[in-house]
Amino acid sequence: MSDTPESPFKLNRTRIFLLAMGAVVVLIAISMMMGGLGQYQALREAADAAKQPTAEQLGQ
């Protein structure tokens, strides 16, 4: 009986879970480098404010 050894690169549940957690960590790191959620909220507020005319534009 010859037992063939398992490949060290074979994916199992544990390795898939670790790969998924690593991907989540990378996404969080990229998000934090880009400014995080607080900066995104400030950007949305600024974009909404830019849609409304200012007092100077209404006075002309």
Residue 6 domain-assigned (yes or no): no
Confidence (pLDDT) at 56: 75
Residue 57 domain-assigned (yes or no): no
Residue 20 domain-assigned (yes or no): yes
Helical H runs in the chain?
13-33, 36-51, 55-59
Residue 44 domain-assigned (yes or no): yes
- Counting the structural domains of the chain, the total is 1
43/12 Cα distance (integer angstroms): 42
Whole domain around residue 25: which residue ranges? 13-49
**Residue 26 in 3-state DSSP?**
helix
Q: What is the pLDDT of residues 2-46, one digit of tens each?
A: 677 778 888 899 999 999 999 999 998 888 887 776 777 888 888
Of 10 and 55, the one with more pLDDT: 10
Confidence (pLDDT) at 24: 95
38/41 Cα distance (integer angstroms): 5
15/5 Cα distance (integer angstroms): 18
Residue 7 domain-assigned (yes or no): no
